[in-house]
Amino acid sequence: MIVKIKRFDGNTERIDTFDIDIEERTTILEVLEKIKNYFEPSLSYRAQCRASICGTCAVKVNDTHILACKTKAKDMAKDNTIFIEPVSNLPVIKDLVVEQSIFYIDKLKKAKPWFEPKEQFEPVYPKDLEIYDKETDCILCGICYNVCPAVNTDKEFSPINFVKIFRFWKDKNDKLQDERVIIANENHITSCIHCKYCSLSCPKNIPVETDILQIEFYGKQKGYIQQQNQGFGFGFGF
Ligand code: FES
């Protein structure tokens, strides 16, 4: 298989090409490991768990954002070729390594992505957990951020924030409850353009755009969300 990799050394970009043997089950991460171990030791990329848990190995392959450890190379190949490049919407540090603190720290902390327990806990049943079960799967890989057009027009916006807000808003033992929706407004929820790229790209199949829609619908009905924020400014009006 022909593997092209976009490289960046801090100053200049180039594309390196490798011709390697792969098997049916070889993942994109294994391709990168093979290239680093046998051909190009200076190649930089992130990966830790190799099991779709840590969220560090997101890359773009043939124009599609994927987790490298979860995706087979053969499934991504076109004409027996794959082109691997860093994810979009984040500055590149070196090769496939990007600056993640923008969404991971700077923006995410504004969503209060932690549980605020009530004094008295209510019993939680499986039907309660089902409501936010998918959202608990979020591994902060950032792919929803990488594919989101709105993050380029509203620098405050980040789709991940609303996955976290939804998860705790729907937890009946979280004491913030509707305050979570006010936080969503402060996080510029109306800058979402409902393109659904986030939901379609999420490797954990989290319905990110539907979460945003639900928070926005409820917030507008309750008067917590009125104004359009920055961005394209044509989110759904309820
Ligand atoms: S290496 Fe952890 S998600 Fe891929």
- For 132-172, the pLDDT digits (tens) are 999 999 999 999 999 999 999 999 999 999 999 999 999 99
Q: Could you identify the atom of ligand 1 that is nearest to the CA of residue 58?
A: 4
pLDDT at site 227: 62
Nearest ligand 1 atom to alpha carbon 139? 3
SS3 category, 152: helix
Q: Which residues pair with 136 in a beta bridge?
A: none
The per-residue pLDDT for 228 is 66
Alpha carbon of 203 to ligand 1 centroid (Å): 11
Residue list, ligand 1 pocket, CB within 6 Å = 47-50, 52-57, 67, 69
In angstroms, the Cα distances linking 26 to 34, 71, 75, 235 are 10, 8, 10, 41
pLDDT of residue 226: 80
Strand (E) positions, the chain?
2-8, 13-19, 58-61, 64-67, 81-85, 92-94, 97-98
For the chain, domains (ranges, CATH) are: 2-98 (3.10.20.30), 101-222 (1.10.1060.10)
Question: Over the Cα atoms of the chain, what is R_g?
Answer: 20
* Two tokens, residue 210: 């539907």
Alpha-carbon separation of residue 90 from 42, 155, 199 (angstroms): 21, 12, 19
**What is the C-alpha to C-alpha distance for residues 20 and 39, in angstroms, rounded to an integer?**
10
Distance (Å) from CA 193 to ligand 1 centroid: 29
